[in-house]
Amino acid sequence: MDVDKAIGYIATGIVSLLVGWFLQRLKGKPKLLYWLPGTFTFELNEPQTILRTDSLTIQNVGRQPAKDVEIVHKEKPDHFQFSTHIDYSESFSPSDEHILKIPSLGPKEHINIQLLSHSKIPVLLNIRSAEGPAQQIQVAFQRVYPKFVQVLATVFMAVGAGFLLYWLIKSVVFLSKNIGVVS
């Protein structure tokens, strides 16, 4: 067998695997993110009570709907409420964990759950969908600048990226001429 043909077959196989892997990565799928934007505790004197509020936000940042989204707490929270109307069902696992199940969460859709506790602190165990677990992310409040500032910043970033690409291409051409690849 000719060595050049063998190298060609191997290169074709490697390129095929890389293209297949790349196409799998581009394929639309759901991706759930969640964050806990805030908790606050109120201490009331009359009657002597401690109230705690929690907030939980879940968003599907993927390109396909997330099916059978489950929010699992160690125990049923004292009170909870979704900030927008959404269909859900409640159930309990064999180990008495409280499960809120949402049939579907569309692409770029998000939900927010407000929790109010007076006797037990809600302990979030897991958030998952049929496609896999959700990922917790850290968030912080950020100032929203006027639209013209956002457009100006975008223009500056695009111009900077253009200059960077220009000098990168010039460097490659310069190096390829100096090492004899291109005459």
Q: In whole angstroms, what is the distance from residue 122 CA to residue 15 CA? A: 50
Task: Residue 92: give the domain boundaries.
Answer: 32-136
* pLDDT exceeds 70 at position 164: yes
pLDDT, position 142: 87
Q: Which of 33, 100, 110, 102 is nearest to 69 (CA)?
A: 102
Is residue 7, in this structure, part of any structural domain at all?
A: yes
Is the residue at 36 inside a domain?
yes
Tokens 């970033």 sit on residue: 157
Q: What is the pLDDT of residue 183?
A: 67
20 and 41, same domain (yes or no): no
Say what the pTM is.
Answer: 0.71
User: Are 126 and 45 in a shared domain?
Assistant: yes
Q: Count how many residues are written for the chain.
A: 183
Same domain, 57 and 98: yes
170 part of a folded domain: no
- Residue 146 banded pLDDT, cuts 50, 70, 90: very high
Q: Give the confidence band of 45 by pLDDT, cuts at 50, 70, 90.
A: confident
Quick one: 5 and 36 in the same domain?
no
CA distance 36 to 123: 12
Check if the beta carbon of residue 129 is closer than 8 Å to that of residue 78: no
Confidence tier at 38 by pLDDT (50, 70, 90): confident
Band of residue 1 on the pLDDT scale cut at 50, 70, 90 = low
Same domain, 47 and 122: yes
Does residue 63 sit within a domain? yes
Instruction: Count, in order, helices (H) and strands (E) of the chain.
Output: 2, 10
pLDDT tens digits, 103-137: 999 999 999 999 999 888 889 999 999 999 999 99
Edge-first strand listing for the sheet containing 79-82: 79-82, 110-117, 49-60, 32-44, 135-136
Q: Is 15 within a domain?
A: yes
Domain-located, residue 162: no
Q: How far apart are CA 147 and CA 133, in angstroms?
A: 36
- pLDDT confidence of 159, banded at 50, 70, 90? very high
Strands (E) in 63-153, as ranges, are: 66-73, 79-82, 89-92, 98-105, 110-117, 124-129, 132-133, 135-136
Reported as a pLDDT band with limits 50, 70 and 90, residue 79 is very high
Instruction: Note whether 24 and 39 are same-domain residues.
Output: no
Q: What is the DSSP letter of 151?
A: H
Instruction: With beta carbons less than 8 A apart as the criterion, state whether 101 and 69 touch.
Output: yes
Residue 160: which pLDDT band, with cuts at 50, 70 and 90?
Answer: very high
